[in-house]
Amino acid sequence: MKYEAIIFDLDGVICHTDKYHYEAWKAIADKLNIEFNETINNRLRGVSRMESFNIILEKYDGVMSEKKKLKYAEEKNDIYKELLKNMSEKDLSKEVRETLTELRNKGAKLAIGSSSKNAKFILNQIGLGDFFDAISDGNNITKSKPDPEVFLKAAEYLNLPAEKCLVVEDAVAGLEAAIDGKMDSSAIGDAVSSGKATYNLDSFKDLLSILN
Ligand code: BG6
Ligand code: MG
């Protein structure tokens, strides 16, 4: 096999949390009288919580202290975590579940490479709490995508060199992280049009033909 492992981004690849991020950030933006819409929300994909807030604050009329920023980011996370409680095994599509199982049966190691500090909570909600061979997430990194740290850590946890790992991403920041980490990548969703991935997926199950 060309690749011994697949490292999946979580939000937007394995499941969809966009609407919850949007709702939670929107509550904070409204409170601060900041313009916030879907287009700005799309720019938050793959980047850390604090970097996301800094992007939102581009529309803020004034300067906010770091202490206040932390307070609002924490408040956003409290709202977001409440919303995540709505997630269940129903939020894992049949296609993703079956493809993951087939990939594992082919002998591939499967890992998560996510900027989120809530990755484990989300995986538990959708019934994949014990499924992956390694989880690298927002809790074990100091720099978020497009820095390759989160993927390099995943490879390290799997005990594999970067060139044996294939990254799956829906965000351009994630594809750039894979390139910087010398890993091949597969784009899905919005990231496809960037042309930055080694492979473009029409559908999640297309991963099976890449691994063949
Ligand atoms: C990524 C999302 O997976 O996690 C980003 O694509 C988000 O939009 C980032 O900002 C951080 O998430 P969390 O859960 O740590 O606030
Ligand atoms: Mg994503």
pTM confidence score: 0.96
Hey, what CATH topology would domain 5-16+91-211 get?
Rossmann fold (3.40.50)
Residue positions annotated with a catalytic role: 9, 11
Whether residue 18 has pLDDT greater than 80: yes
Structure tokens at 9: 């981004």
Q: Is 136 close to ligand 1, i.e. is its CB under 6 Å away?
A: no
- State in Å: Cα 2 to ligand 1 middle: 30
Domain boundaries, the chain: 5-16+91-211, 18-84
Tell me what the mean pLDDT of segment 1-12 comes to.
95
Chain CA centroid to CA 44, Å: 11
pLDDT, tens digit (0-9, with 9 covering 90-100), for 199-209: 999 999 999 99
Residue 120 contacts residue 135 (beta carbons within 8 Å): yes
Q: What is the CA radius of gyration of the chain?
A: 17
Structure tokens at 196: 């930055």
Residue 49 contacts residue 117 (beta carbons within 8 Å): yes
Ligand 1: atom nearest CA of 18 is: 8
Instruction: Please state, in angstroms and rounded to a whole number, the distance separating the CA atoms of residues 192 and 195.
Output: 6
Structure tokens at 183: 């890993």
Residue 99: what pLDDT? 98
Q: Is 118 close to ligand 1, i.e. is its CB under 6 Å away?
A: yes
Say which CATH architecture domain 18-84 belongs to.
Answer: Orthogonal Bundle (1.10)
Residue 102: what pLDDT? 97
pLDDT mean across residues, the chain: 97
Percent of the chain with pLDDT over 90: 95
Residue from 158, 162, 163, 157 nearest 140 by CA: 157
pLDDT, tens digit (0-9, with 9 covering 90-100), for 96-154: 999 999 999 999 999 999 999 999 999 999 999 999 999 999 999 999 999 999 999 99
Longest alpha-carbon distance in the chain = 54
